Amino acid sequence: MKIRIERAACVGNARCAAVSAELYPLDDDGYIDTDGFDVATGDEKTAKNGARACPERIIFVIEDDGTQSWPPARG
């Protein structure tokens, strides 16, 4: 599983970092400081919870088969 982040769209809510500051580090101004990462075994649930915590929905969960499981596709 991978996490992809539209970093330029971050507005600094920091809800992802509240779930896991290790997976979702912030810069000195309180904005996300990564474009994404490969999720380590055992961190899947935390990574997904961090993505779901983002009210801007700029954190994308990409499953191993390449499908996007979060956020849901807009109709």
Q: What pLDDT score was predicted for residue 73?
A: 80
Q: What pLDDT score was predicted for residue 75?
A: 64
Q: Work out the pLDDT band at 69, boundaries 50, 70, 90.
A: very high
Are the beta carbons of 41 and 33 closer than 8 angstroms?
no
Query: SS3 for 37?
Result: strand
What domains, with CATH codes, occur in the chain? 2-70 (3.30.70.20)
Q: What pLDDT score was predicted for residue 74?
A: 74
pLDDT, tens only, 6-21: 999 999 999 999 999 9
What is the distance between the terminal CA atoms of the chain, rounded to a whole angstrom? Answer: 24
| Phi and psi angles of residue 29, each rounded to the nearest 5 degrees, phi first | -95, 0
Strand extents, DSSP E, 1-75: 2-5, 36-38, 59-62, 68-70
pLDDT, tens only, 36-65: 999 999 999 999 999 999 999 999 999 999
